[in-house]
């Protein structure tokens, strides 16, 4: 039986790397995205551009890449209001978490992706969750994801596997993985077409891609890129 995977694809650097990783390993790869009212909704515009660009880097990848769906979760986004879904300052909250924390976001995403995977006959999900270079979100932790996968398996009465190839990588290592998977063509595609900036800024072009250069997502991406670039020099 041909292997298949469903990639949680936002068009950010991490999910772009995960898409290439999946295309390198599975016979059929589908993607799913989420419109949850994010202030950086420009990532939804970048999804088809980046997806098609990555597929075009290899005839095998183009053949393996299959369906895509974007799910409307704006009701959830309004309920789980944060600095990512409303015009609020990006700062540390009293809880000790960044104000960009969207409560339960990965739990919701995995539940919806699990339903889509079930419908499509897929039992492997691929996500860019990481607990190394990240913003401290508790739903990115391996322990949280393991618990959610167990709940999904019970609720669907079918095993569901989650692959997180970036879980223990820092951002420099994520750039290195992308380079190993697709060389300069893939890293350049990520620089030009992916979107990570929380502010949704695509007017400022940096060596590492587009963004405001100030928000936590830009800061992580820039530092990782410079570390990778220096190590590869």
What residue has token string 């699990």? 114
Residue 109's domain spans which residues? 4-170
DSSP code for 139: G
Task: Classify the phi-psi angles of 193: left when phi > 0, otherwise alpha if psi is within -120 to 50, otherwise beta.
Answer: alpha
Give the length of the chain.
Answer: 233
Retrieve residue 154's tokens: 């019970």
Asked if residue 209 is part of any domain, the answer here is no
What's the pTM? 0.91
- 63 inside domain: yes
CA distance linking residue 198 with residue 15, whole number of Å: 15
Q: What integer pLDDT is reported at residue 1 of this predicted model?
A: 54
Residue 175, in any domain of the structure: no
In a domain, 206, yes or no: no
- pLDDT tens for the chain, 233 residues: list them: 579 999 999 999 999 999 999 999 999 999 999 998 887 789 999 999 999 999 999 999 999 999 999 999 988 767 666 655 556 555 545 555 555 566 678 888 999 999 999 999 999 999 999 887 556 677 778 888 999 999 999 999 999 999 999 999 999 999 999 999 999 999 999 999 999 998 899 999 999 999 999 988 899 899 999 999 998 76
Residue-level pLDDT at 141? 83
Does 216 reside within a domain? no
Residue 17 belongs to a domain: yes
Domain count, the chain: 1
CATH number where 43 lies: 3.40.50.620
Contact 206, 199 (CB under 8 A): no
Is 23 a member of any domain?
A: yes
| The pLDDT of residue 232 | 76
The per-residue pLDDT for 215 is 86
* Three-state secondary-structure class, residue 102: coil
């Amino acid at each position: 039986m041909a292997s298949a995977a469903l990639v949680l694809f936002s068009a950010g650097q991490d999910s772009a790397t995960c898409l290439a990783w999946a295309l390198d390993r599975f016979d059929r790869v589908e993607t799913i995205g989420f419109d949850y009212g994010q202030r950086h909704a420009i990532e939804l515009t970048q999804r088809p551009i980046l997806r098609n660009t990555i597929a075009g880097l290899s005839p095998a990848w183009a053949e393996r890449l299959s369906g895509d769906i974007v799910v409307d979760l704006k009701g959830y986004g309004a309920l789980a209001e944060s600095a990512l879904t409303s015009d609020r300052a990006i700062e540390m909250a009293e809880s000790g978490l960044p104000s960009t924390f969207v409560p339960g976001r990965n739990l919701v995403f995995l539940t919806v992706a699990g339903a889509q995977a079930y419908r499509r006959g897929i039992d492997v999900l691929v996500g860019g969750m990481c607990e190394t270079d990240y913003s401290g979100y508790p739903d990115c932790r391996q322990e949280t994801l393991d618990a959610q996968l167990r709940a999904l398996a019970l609720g669907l009465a079918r095993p569901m596997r989650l692959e997180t190839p970036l879980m223990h990588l820092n951002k420099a290592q994520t750039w290195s993985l992308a380079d190993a998977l697709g060389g300069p063509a893939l890293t350049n595609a990520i620089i030009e077409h992916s979107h990570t900036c929380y502010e949704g800024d695509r007017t400022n072009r940096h060596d590492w891609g587009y963004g405001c250069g100030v928000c936590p997502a830009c800061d992580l991406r820039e530092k990782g890129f410079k570390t990778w670039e220096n190590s590869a020099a």
